[in-house]
Structure 1
Amino acid sequence: MGYIDYSKEPRSDIAFIDMKSFYASVECVDRGLNPLRTSLCVMSRADNTSGLILASSPLFKKVFGRSNVGRAYGLPFDIKTRKFNYYNAQEQGIKVSPQYIAYIENWAKRTLIVAPRMDYYIEKNIEIQNILLNYASSADILPYSIDEGFIDLTSSLNYFIQEKDLSPEVKLDLLSARIQYDIHKQTGIVPTIGMSNSNPLLAKLALDNEAKNKKNFRANWSYQDVESKVWTIPKMTDFWGIGYRMEKRLHQLGITSICDLANFNPDILKKELGANGLQLWFHANGVDESNVHQPYKAKSQGLGNSQILPHDYVHQVDIELVLSEMAEQVAIRLRRAHKKASKVSIHVSYSRTEMKKAIQGQVKIDPSNSTRILTQAVLTLFRDRYTSGAVRRIGVFYSGFVDEHFSLISLFDQVEMIEKEEQLQSSIDQIRDQFGFLALQKGSALLDASRNIARSKLVGGHSAGGLEGLK
């Protein structure tokens, strides 16, 4: 560890708090059940064999060997009958025995499968944020997602833990334990906390790689632990910023561990991987100069929306209806951002029964935020690539942004017609802003294939809420 002089690196007392199996825990507590001793799964379209698993309790994961994300048909039992799924076992190469079948069916009968309630989860998140405000100001709290976030306790650590003979590590652990207790007492949810007396990165690594496996669900990683803990993370993909593709690129450079990465030549990393490679080198050495008060904000590259259809769409006219609706929804968000897009992309995935490669396409257009123009581009992309087959997932994406005041007018454009269209579009947007997205709808919204009304009742794509950014 001769590369970094940690005495010159910034230090802060950080806790990274994660609500253990948040959605599933909320559902368990609401039913008076222990989240750690209940087999429960939160599933979108919980009555459907192709439902999407959004969250599951720790016991559910242990019993069925499942992660949070998956499909109902991937479970070792049928969600309706709770009988063993022989087909799934055969697909996954599971060795089936009478004892195993009995074990699965016994737990399947005791397992709760519930639909998501996004509004309720948001309420619980707000309740937890209010608990954190008892220990730090809002400026010291950075939500990372609905179930996890950073809290900088540097300013309040000595206020709450006043014993002068205690080390900063002990003080941070005591205060984190107090926060942990308050959250569990008030909400019934068990928080896991990664801590660091150094920086946010090390707190996050502590949570992901140690705290989740400890009995008290707390762990502290600081500068003095880089060599013994950071460098010994067993899987490279368990490290911040390294996915399977990046791992493959690092392997090509002869880097097979975090220790190798930390001791590699940073100049070569920068040459081969750019600024990202250099950042990974610093992170592998425990260096992170970001802070909770000035979080990094990625430059917006585009706007998009995608959805998994409730069933296979086999008719082209129905697929095009949903594509048109999504094109309009993203166009509204584009206008609210005061931007025009010069690139339009689509992604259409077939049903798993089709065994077909997904459709992907992109086209450049003159900068526009017109619903009509963007919808035409989306439908043209689709029609040029689609022949037949059942579709299950659809995505629409706009990028290549310019300011909304930018316009390209040719001699062949009818300026008066363009202005009338923009005025009509603006009036529709104003009505929807005031009275809701469903206040003005085309007659096609009443067709069985339409998704506008159904999705108006969603939050984040799941039950209880509204169309993202449109309600």
Structure 2
Amino acid sequence: MDEIYESLPKQTIFCIDMKSFYASCSARLLGLDPLTCYLAVVADTNRNGSVVLAATPKLKADFGIQTGSRLFEIPNDPRIHIVNAQMKTYLQTSVEITNFFNRYVPMECIHTYSVDESFLHTDGTERLWGDAETLAKRIKRDMFKEFGLTCAIGIGPNMLLAKLCLDVEAKKAGIAQWKFDDVKKKLWPLSPLSKMWGIGSRLEQRLHRIGVRTVGQLANYPLDQLEKKFGVIGNQLYYHAWGIDLSDLGTPMLEGQISFAKSQILLRDYDREGEIKHVILEICEEVARRARNEKKAGRTVRLGLGYSKSERRSGFYRSQTIAEPTNITMDIYEICMQLFKTHYNGETVRKIDISLSNVCDDTHTQLSLFDMSKPERKKLGYVMDQIRERYGADTLLRAVSYTKAGTAKHRSTLVGGHKA
């Protein structure tokens, strides 16, 4: 593998994560120090069961309040500030931080991975700012001076190692750098596998079934067998386990895993079958719309139901693959209903996940002799999308969205899933 390392492009990639970004922004708005104050950002301060979206480091350390905690779990302590999410402010700050990065590298060398995380390609800036560690320290210092915000920076020879360096080491150390020589010592012991960027819980379970539980075991598994079991994903998994990533800045880490998904934590427990079906239909509409926006269609539909804490079971996740790809809402809904009928037994539901995968270009879909209405139904979906894009997301809603169970009408008023 040393010969392969020698032949790879020599790059310097920064992966920058804003620490407790939402909570820190809210703290600064109140004139508080994000590092010393007790502050929680929640979805809605008027709902006792509202989810905690972010918490300052001191609140996490001293009171054990984490992202995902509930409002009623926060102690009644006068030192603790509880605020609503302000998504417009967070998004605007994220844009300002991107412009801040542009002082150090050209805009085309910046990839905004999420609201609070970015990649920077810093090659060619050494004469201006010094080596990678010097530049990282400068960015941290200048960011705190200008925005009052802190960050962690992982440095690597590609996006993959920069991200893994950030998650495994830099989030504790502040700044860390990994090179190919560090892969065996720092990356291979990584476990569980879901800590590896690009490996989700389902893929992790499949790897467990072949006896792979650490990145080192993945790196030493026969490549031909991985390719036989996982296809092109197996090839990428193998080389990623060796720290090799040839993707350009901003491209997906595992290209074969493209899917369209929507996950929603419900505002309350849903124990009526009809109400659960109403929300499933709304989410199918959103998943289908996302696929149509990318001119894609998929063959595999996955339904997941997360149960309330009052239930003994955590829920289920099941999928079904169809012969012809689709991005039609009612096609996806009918498959979800088949899965729902088979696996749902009357439990109280608090979370719903739906995804469309096994994706291809929508232009590749064929006319079915058994469903002559499909072209018209597909065309109708695109027309509805255009109307919503022009006049607003709540312009056209299904009737279920106006029932007590519906959530789409409320969500249309949110930014990024939360209050603006």
TM-score interval, smaller chain: 0.7 to 0.9
Inter-partner Cα distance in structure 2 for 1:134 and 1:359 = 48
Q: Larger C-alpha radius of gyration, 1 or 2?
A: 1
Per the alignment, residue 278 of structure 1 pairs with 238
Per the alignment, residue 72 of structure 1 pairs with 70
Q: Secondary structure at the match of 2:78?
A: helix
Letter in 1 for 2:63: F
Aligned-pair distance for 1:113? 2.5
Matched, 1:393 2:351: yes
The structure 1 residue matched to 2:121, chosen from 152, 155, 159, is: 152
Distance 1:248 1:59, change over 3 A: farther
Inter-partner Cα distance in structure 2 for 1:250 and 1:361 = 18
Matched, 1:317 2:274: yes
Aligned-pair distance for 1:315? 1.8
Q: Percent identity?
A: 31
User: Does the Cα contact within 8 Å between 2:183 and 2:242 map onto a contact in 1?
Assistant: no
Following superposition of structure 1 onto structure 2, how do residues 366-385 of structure 1 map, counting pairs within 5 Å?
366-385=324-343
Matched, 1:339 2:296: yes
Per the alignment, residue 404 of structure 1 pairs with 362
What is the TM-score with the length of structure 1 in the denominator? 0.74
Distance 1:117 1:248, change over 3 A: same
Q: Secondary structure at the match of 1:437?
A: coil
Inter-partner Cα distance in structure 2 for 1:11 and 1:181 = 27
Q: Secondary structure at the match of 1:70?
A: coil
User: Does the Cα contact within 8 Å between 2:160 and 2:253 map onto a contact in 1?
Assistant: no
1:401-457 superposed Cα distances (whole Å, 9 cap, x missing partner):
4443423433x65x4x65655554444333222112211234443222111111112
Matched, 1:302 2:259: yes
The structure 1 residue matched to 2:145, chosen from 185, 188, 192, is: 185
The structure 1 residue matched to 2:413, chosen from 457, 465, 469, is: 457
Q: Secondary structure at the match of 2:269?
A: strand
1:38-92 superposed Cα distances (whole Å, 9 cap, x missing partner):
12222233444433232221112211345x433227xxx843xx35xxxxxxxxx
Per the alignment, residue 119 of structure 1 pairs with 88
Letter in 2 for 1:156: T
The structure 1 residue matched to 2:401, chosen from 439, 445, 460, is: 445
What is the TM-score with the length of structure 2 in the denominator? 0.82
Aligned-pair distance for 1:5? 7.9
Per the alignment, residue 98 of structure 1 pairs with none
Q: Secondary structure at the match of 2:335?
A: helix
Aligned-pair distance for 1:187? 1.3
Matched, 1:17 2:16: yes
User: Does the Cα contact within 8 Å between 2:292 and 2:382 map onto a contact in 1?
Assistant: no
Matched, 1:435 2:391: yes
Aligned-pair distance for 1:312? 0.8
Inter-partner Cα distance in structure 2 for 1:62 and 1:332 = 41
The structure 2 residue matched to 1:173, chosen from 115, 133, 144, is: 133
Inter-partner Cα distance in structure 1 for 2:187 and 2:389 = 52
Aligned-pair distance for 1:144? 2.7
Letter in 1 for 2:292: R
Letter in 2 for 1:220: Q
Inter-partner Cα distance in structure 2 for 1:369 and 1:192 = 40
The structure 1 residue matched to 2:307, chosen from 324, 327, 350, is: 350
Inter-partner Cα distance in structure 2 for 1:205 and 1:343 = 30
Greater Cα offset, 334-343 or 419-428: 419-428
Per the alignment, residue 38 of structure 1 pairs with 37
User: Does the Cα contact within 8 Å between 2:400 and 2:406 map onto a contact in 1?
Assistant: yes
Q: Secondary structure at the match of 2:152?
A: strand
Distance 1:177 1:344, change over 3 A: closer
Letter in 1 for 2:14: A
Letter in 1 for 2:20: S
Inter-partner Cα distance in structure 2 for 1:131 and 1:380 = 50
Distance 1:380 1:21, change over 3 A: same
Following superposition of structure 1 onto structure 2, how do residues 101-120 of structure 1 map, counting pairs within 5 Å?
108-120=77-89
Inter-partner Cα distance in structure 2 for 1:243 and 1:133 = 32
Q: Secondary structure at the match of 2:394?
A: helix
User: Does the Cα contact within 8 Å between 2:162 and 2:178 map onto a contact in 1?
Assistant: yes
Q: CA RMSD of the aligned region, Å?
A: 3.6
Inter-partner Cα distance in structure 2 for 1:28 and 1:193 = 22
Inter-partner Cα distance in structure 2 for 1:289 and 1:319 = 43
Greater Cα offset, 21-30 or 173-182: 173-182
Inter-partner Cα distance in structure 2 for 1:116 and 1:126 = 17
Letter in 1 for 2:120: I
Inter-partner Cα distance in structure 2 for 1:265 and 1:51 = 40
**Structure 2 residues not aligned, in runs of 5+:** 227-233
User: Does the Cα contact within 8 Å between 1:270 and 1:277 map onto a contact in 2?
Assistant: no
Distance 1:10 1:122, change over 3 A: same
